Structure 1
């Protein structure tokens, strides 16, 4: 029993670290897709549109990481590999989705996402982030 607890704690730590690193990568990609510094828009400017966009992105990454953990069925190395590979795929598809929505809509999507007034485009993009993540998660499972 004690051995199981230590093995599970080790796995939880490894998955948590992988998840945090992958969330940081997804934040950096999102920062590249939007004008200015995303950290500034979030914490200094308190931009709600930026908050919604980042929150949906992080939730999407968490969905993919969770699916990878479930799919690993207790095999840590395989699960961490699933986590890394499928989350990178998810981040890439989210970026492509952002670009496609940008092409399909008037104006520059990144600027609309960070407008100080609430904008419906942020909800569309946020749902796209979560939708892509659910699709990738289903592919894992």
Structure 2
């Protein structure tokens, strides 16, 4: 009969890893919610209601914003190099800065390009200009994420 022996400290290390996953997940969720509400506050109409109503353009913009927030959080975690407290702080700070940069930049881009985001978000049918707005969210998320490194 062969016995399986675990290294000393295995369970402690495993518990720390699980704790880190949960803490990062909470920060990621909080940042995505803050990002959603920031987008909601700066766009005409209630974005949450538009998403609930199934407005395709509102869904596309919301999804792009959430993906971009996730990119920022992932790179903040990666840049922390395994140090939990520093990683959590970096994810939170970079995430908040990313939200502000993203919202301002996307609104400026919409104005410069003459995109009526309010009309697009309220439309019952897909409109092509929403791809520019979604791409701006995604691109700015990438820029902020890689600036973290």
TM class by smaller structure = over 0.9
* Alignment counterpart, residue 53 of structure 1, candidates 61, 84, 95: 61
Q: Give every structure 1 segment of 4 or more consecutive aligned residues whose post-TM-superposition deviation is greater than 4 Å.
A: none
Structure 2: distance between partners of 1:110 and 1:32: 12
User: Which structure would you say has the larger Rg?
Assistant: 2
Task: Please identify, of 101-110 and 128-137, the stretch whose mean Cα deviation from structure 2 is larger.
Answer: 101-110
- Deviations 1:27-76 (CA, angstroms, capped at 9, x unpaired): 10111122221121111x21111111000000000001000111111111
- TM-score if structure 1 supplies the norm length? 0.93
Q: Which residue among 99, 105, 108 is the counterpart of 2:113?
A: 105
| C-alpha RMSD of matched pairs (Å) | 1.3
Q: Note the alpha carbon deviations across 1:96-133, whole angstroms, 9 max, x for none.
A: 12221222133532332332221112111111111111
Tell me the equivalent position of 1:39. Answer: 48
Unaligned 5+ segments in structure 2 are 1-9
Higher helix share: 1
TM-score by length of 2: 0.88
